[in-house]
Structure 1
Amino acid sequence: MNVCPGVVKELLSKGEGETPTFLHNTKATFHFRTLAKQKGSDSEIVIDDSRTMGCGPFELLVGRKFKLSVWEDLVKTMRLGEKSKFTCSKELVSDYPLVSKSLRYVAKEKQGTAREEDRPVVRHRCMATGLNEHHHHDDHHHSETGYADLDDLDEHPRDLTFEIELLSTEAEGNYEKAIWSMTPDEKRDEIPRLKAKGTAQYKAENYKEAARFYGMAIGCIEELLSREHPKSDVASALETQKIPLLLNYCQCQLNLEEYADAIRHATSVLEKEPDNVKALFRRGKAYAASWMPQLARRDLKQAAQLDGGLVRVVARMMRELDDVQRQRDAEDRARLRAGVSRGPQLRRRVTIYSANRFGFPCQFVGFSEDVAFALGAHFRRVGRVDRFNYPSTTHTRRSFAREDDNLSIDLVRRLVVESALASNRL
């Protein structure tokens, strides 16, 4: 059955009732599976499957210029509950690698494994990815997506098969709009409502929900900013409106012990307002909780200098940092001495990758295996290493903030002291 030029439909399972009326802004929700023939073979391989990839069913708004426009044509031929297979010519699916990358990013966000470099478009992490056509450039062809299968598909276009099951349709007004689907005026009106919802959830101590609403409000502002000249009065007003939302989001993440995220959002505020006391104090607390004492002391000291009301609180926090520092130093020294005292062992080449933006490796040779492990355990625990390797072990990568080069100075200082201790020179 030909749906439109370049598309052949095969019915797998009949749906119920008549074909729905797909008016403008109707939301169609469906599961999909994407297949492609292997090069030089008639056998098909699965590229994506919404049931297993983690992004959940796809939600398509009719008439909103979705990047892969052929999907709208396919869905419009289906009844509720229907399952069908559509084979589409390569000319109609050339944008699929970009769409797939965005969906895979959504899946990683939901699983908590998304990285900044995976982000398909520049926008706030709490937003929907928004695959509208006007959000993307036209120069994506033959560019690296970060996925070998998508890069191959981009470099060697071919026909794709989509197996689709239509789950539901909802007319406009019967569902809550996603941010990316709102008009600019709707986004402006939504910002104070989202902020109020976030504040209500925060007062109820539902910090995760509060962060979600604050994040959505930030997403609205960033969508609006993408339409404005960076130096315009409108952009300046939007940036000012975003500051308290970033601070509120940061506080939620502090309460949730998501310290890296708290640091990142406080830093966003400080890039605009270097003397923002709340941002300095909250980032200082996040640094302290992440055990980055140098950075914590720097931020807390600056906050106290700007706001005299914080002097006593900051002084108490500084004493607590000093107490923990002494305790951890004593524990590390004891652990290292224990490793040295066990006598000659197999010598290891130890590479510790420093936690600064340049990521240079400090390499020391000749540690015993116990000392090598003790050093790695110490630096992983204090959050100062990206990864620690020696020949028989590769430990789990740990994430950390990279805002300050002083991290490398502190790391090198401690490495020198502890490597000397490990060699019985202290």
Structure 2
Amino acid sequence: MEEAIGLNIEGVRKKIHHGGTGELANFISGSKVTFHFRTLKCDDDRTVIDDSKKVGVPMEIIIGNMFKLEVWEVLLTSMRIGEVAEFWCDVTHTGLYPIVAKSLRRIAEGKDPTDWHIHTCGLANMFAYHSLGYEDLDELQKEPQPLIFVIELLKVESPSMYKRETWALSNDEKLKAVPVLHGEGNRLFKLGRYEDATNKYREAVICLKNIQTKEKPWEVPWMKLEKMINTLVLNYCQCLLRMEEFYEVLEHTTDLIQHHPGLTKAYFLRGKANAEVWNEAEAKKDFEKVVELDPTMSRQVKKEIRKLEMRMEEKEEEEKLKYKNLFP
């Protein structure tokens, strides 16, 4: 392979397979770059790790948007439209590839790439669970190694040429988008459009989680973002209650309580969800905790407990009648 001209970065070599057309594109900050990529190991078999063409969806990144695998920006900005080039990158540039690849694979599988309901940053999750969920990526994570990226540059769009989705915004733009999304979610909730509201709350949470990964966990800036996230997740859970997704409410509120045991509203919503799935003892325990944390909610809690007891009595009567008809 030949040393890449114009890359000006150690540990990278470039070989052009197919020349592109025209001059280098104008890669200004905010430009959206669309490309196909194939990731290979540097072994004798050139083992393929990921291939966007097999997935059928090209990759998109925004220039200047702090993409986790920073070297890709450098590689792309050395290319012309239509060019296919092979880049060898040493381990100093490929250490974060397993984390990036996990997100790309989750997107391809139709899953949320951010795991936003988990209340620790991505790196903390990685160390906590010792796995990214894919064996080959776990191997790369344990033993980082040089990788080969074969890239085909498809197009470059300036910021004015495309509608910028929230994932493509800068951190400042994401922060400004959050209250707008939050307000829109609240408006949709009041209109009874709960599914639409959950989408707004989810989008706002993803914006904040993306910003939060760049902060040190549990320090003041991180905690400010965490507080905002908790509020949005609780709103999301209120929608789920109205949509009768009770077990998902239990999952999210339990996760919140584990990390923030003083969240009164989380106990209240979990109590309501437990009541809906006939977990009487757990529901009462949650409601008791609500009053312990906030005595001003005792009247509201008494109302919920009375409603639960009436439902349990009705259920008991129904079961008595059922068994009476079975054994006349």
TM-score, length-normalised on structure 2? Answer: 0.70
Match of 1:316 in 2: 307
Match of 1:11 in 2: 17
Structure whose residues are more often helix by fraction = 2
Identity of aligned residues (%): 30
CA drift at 1:310: 5.5
Give the 3 Å change call, closer, same or farther, for CA 152–264 of structure 1 in structure 2. closer
Match of 2:164 in 1: 176
Match of 1:88 in 2: 88
Aligned AA (1:285): K
Partner-residue secondary structure (3-state), 1:44: coil
Match of 2:200 in 1: 213
Structure 2 unaligned residues grouped into runs of 5+: 324-328
Check if 1:253 corresponds to 2:240: yes
**Given that residues 114 and 206 in structure 2 are in contact (C-alpha distance below 8 angstroms), is that contact kept between their aligned partners in structure 1?**
no
CA deviation profile, 1:14-71 (whole Å, cap 9, x unmatched): 6666542101232212232212254xxx3232211235569x5432222344333332
Partner-residue secondary structure (3-state), 2:72: helix
Give the 3 Å change call, closer, same or farther, for CA 73–325 of structure 1 in structure 2. farther
Match of 1:35 in 2: 40
Distance (whole Å) between structure 2 residues aligned to residue 200 and residue 115 of structure 1: 25
Distance (whole Å) between structure 1 residues aligned to residue 113 and residue 71 of structure 2: 30
Paired residues for 1:26-425 under 5 Å: 26-38=31-43, 42-52=44-54, 56-80=57-81, 82=82, 84-91=84-91, 92-107=93-108, 110-111=110-111, 122-123=120-121, 145-154=132-141, 158-172=145-159, 174-176=162-164, 178=166, 182-183=170-171, 185-221=172-208, 223=211, 227=215, 230=218, 232=220, 241-267=228-254, 268=256, 272=260, 274=262, 276=264, 278-300=265-287, 306-309=297-300, 311-324=302-315
CA deviation profile, 1:56-87 (whole Å, cap 9, x unmatched): 5432222344333332232224444x262414
Distance (whole Å) between structure 2 residues aligned to residue 94 and residue 231 of structure 1: 25
Greater CA deviation, 16-25 or 150-159?
Answer: 150-159
**Given that residues 99 and 132 in structure 2 are in contact (C-alpha distance below 8 angstroms), is that contact kept between their aligned partners in structure 1?**
yes
* CA-atom RMSD in angstroms: 4.4
Distance (whole Å) between structure 2 residues aligned to residue 97 and residue 313 of structure 1: 47
Which gives a bigger RCO, structure 1 or 2 (Cα 8 Å, sep 6+)?
Answer: 2
Give the 3 Å change call, closer, same or farther, for CA 186–86 of structure 1 in structure 2. same
CA drift at 1:102: 3.8
Distance (whole Å) between structure 1 residues aligned to residue 138 and residue 277 of structure 2: 37
Structure 1 unaligned residues grouped into runs of 5+: 124-128, 130-135, 333-426
Higher alpha-carbon Rg: 1
- Paired positions, count: 306
Match of 2:27 in 1: 22
Give the 3 Å change call, closer, same or farther, for CA 231–209 of structure 1 in structure 2. same
Distance (whole Å) between structure 1 residues aligned to residue 217 and residue 147 of structure 2: 39
CA drift at 1:221: 4.7
TM-score, length-normalised on structure 1? Answer: 0.56
Give the 3 Å change call, closer, same or farther, for CA 320–167 of structure 1 in structure 2. farther
